[in-house]
Amino acid sequence: MGTFDLPKLPYSYDALEPYIDAKTMEIHHSKHHQSYTDGLNNTIDNKLMAKENRKKGIVELLVNLDQIRPELRDAVNFHGGGFYNHDLFWKNMSPDGGGKPEGKVEDEINSSFGNFAKFKKEFSDKTAAIQGSGWGWLVYNPENQKVEFITMPNQTSPITEHLVPLLGLDVWEHAYYLKYQNRRPEYIEAWWNVVNWKEVDFRLSRAETLAGIFSEY
């Protein structure tokens, strides 16, 4: 047992069928997410890591990456980002998902992007265009108090840039290749059918300050 445990999926592996297939979910969670968890634990257990950092939660580690020794910083960024991002990714989806955002998140999306259709197109197009592996994100920026779209490379989490992640889409090939092969845009289009807007709205309601997400772990 390491410091961090693989977070449980909030539904069964086949719950997001037909949009995301059970085999992809099983491998993605039980192998890929597990390997980020193991990589994070191995890094935390490294005796080069300062004792006070070993006691920090994942959000605190990622927000304060500059306090990690340079030799370990990349590993915390990669494995810690993978550990954290995937947990959000599972929560960001639901078998009862899809449809449109409502409430505050709808208002904020309209304010930043014009309307939901424009937001969806920008999110889809720019996430599909990520070169290599990475994620598309809807984030809350505490500095201008707006929601924004960004892409991040590999497993680097928006938290490391002090942006609050609200909705993330993993476009590593392991997230879709079994079912969609090279057709990333088709995977993205299908994914909108499982987006858990209630969760996104809940995250926004707590995102007013970055401190609002410190209580997660």
User: Applying CB under 5 A, which residues contact Mn ion?
Assistant: 170, 172
Q: Are 95 and 19 in contact (CB under 8 A)?
A: no
Q: Which is nearer to Mn ion, 112 or 133 (CB)?
A: 133
Q: Which is nearer to Mn ion, 11 or 172 (CB)?
A: 172
Residue number, nearest CB to Mn ion: 170
Minimum distance between the CB of residue 86 and Mn ion, rounded to whole angstroms? Answer: 6
Minimum distance between the CB of residue 172 and Mn ion, rounded to whole angstroms? Answer: 5
Within 13 Å of residue 169, how many CA atoms lie on the same side as its CB?
30
Element (H, E) at 217: none
Minimum distance between the CB of residue 116 and Mn ion, rounded to whole angstroms? Answer: 26
Q: Are 3 and 44 in contact (CB under 8 A)?
A: yes
Q: Which is nearer to Mn ion, 172 or 217 (CB)?
A: 172
End-to-end CA distance of the chain: 17
Minimum distance between the CB of residue 85 and Mn ion, rounded to whole angstroms? Answer: 8
Q: Which is nearer to Mn ion, 27 or 75 (CB)?
A: 27
Nearest to 135 by CA among 88, 181, 102: 88
- Angle, vertex CA 156, rays to CA 191 and CA 49, nearest 5: 140
In the sheet that holds 146-153, the strands lie side by side as 146-153, 134-141, 164-170
Q: Which is nearer to Mn ion, 101 or 168 (CB)?
A: 168
